[in-house]
Amino acid sequence: MQDGRNEAATPWQRACHECDLLLAKAVAPTGQKLVCPRCNATLHRKAKHGIRYTAALSLTGLLLFIPAASLPLLQFSLFAFGAENTLLNGVMSLFDAGYYWLSSLVLFCSVLAPLWKFLLLAFVCWGSNWAFLDRPVAASVRWYQHLKEWGMLDVYMLGILVALVKMSDLGKMEIEPGLYCFVAMMLIANLTTLSFDPEAIWERIAHRRALRIAAAAPGGST
């Protein structure tokens, strides 16, 4: 600590992932964000709430996913005929019509990716409590980063709005209970994404590792 040489060699903590600038600070203080002084990239944002908050949110999202995916979102009626739409039956009709690529893309972006995001985050937040899950947790965080931008519930929501307005002059459009669950799930998904801080997970893992080493060291030496 008192070593003067430490000052000469600046202990770099982080490199900006967008402009490669070296920084001496790694994480932002609670409730604030760390911004790259050169390119203004947000490097790290530390939420006021901890890992538990994200865990609770992702669990809520998972619960909401069940009604949002199974209940009808909209109902369209014309004369005596009516049809309902759920998250999945649009994909099914596209698939039946032969649009395999389009239907799998819609399925992936509106159902699978959001579901996986919730599952991964729930697993990461709960699983990081146990040392034997360190590796799968690290892998999950990695997958989550790749999957992040493909969960498009908010875009789907806008699609619903456009469909609602576009078809309202043709027949009668009605909002079904599934839509409320869907909106709630979308909000929860955005909140979860915002509140998740991978740095906290890494910190937790590193902290536990340090404790383990500290506990093992005296035992090994005596």
Residue ranges that bind other proteins, judged by CB under 8 A: 10, 12-22, 26, 38-41, 43-44, 73-76, 78-79, 81, 83-86, 89-94, 97, 99, 101-103, 105-106, 109-110, 135, 138-139, 141-142, 145, 149-150, 152, 155-156, 158-160, 162-163, 165-167, 169-171, 198-199, 202
3-state secondary structure of 132: helix
Q: Provide DSSP, 71-115.
A: S--EEEEETTEEEEE-HHHHHHHHHHTT-HHHHHHHHIIIIIHHH
Counting every residue written for the chain, the total comes to 222
List the one residue out of 114, 93, 125, 135 whose CA is nearest residue 185. 114
Q: Which residue number, 60 or 197, has a Cβ lying nearer to other proteins?
A: 197
With residue 195 as reference, give the H or E element that holds it. Answer: helix 177-195
Q: Which residue number, 31 or 82, has a Cβ lying nearer to other proteins?
A: 82
Q: Which residue number, 68 or 74, has a Cβ lying nearer to other proteins?
A: 74
Please state the closest distance from residue 219 (CB atom) to other proteins, in A.
25
Contacts of 181 (CB under 8 A, 6+ apart): 64, 67, 68, 71
Residue that the structure tokens 């040392």 belong to: 131
Q: Which residue number, 83 or 131, has a Cβ lying nearer to other proteins?
A: 83
Phi, psi of 129 (to 5 degrees): -75, -20
Please state the closest distance from residue 45 (CB atom) to other proteins, in A.
12
Q: Which residue number, 60 or 125, has a Cβ lying nearer to other proteins?
A: 125
Please state the closest distance from residue 218 (CB atom) to other proteins, in A.
26
Q: Which residue number, 30 or 93, has a Cβ lying nearer to other proteins?
A: 93
Please state the closest distance from residue 91 (CB atom) to other proteins, in A.
6
Please state the closest distance from residue 58 (CB atom) to other proteins, in A.
19
List the one residue out of 53, 30, 59 whose CA is nearest residue 194. 53
Please state the closest distance from residue 159 (CB atom) to other proteins, in A.
3
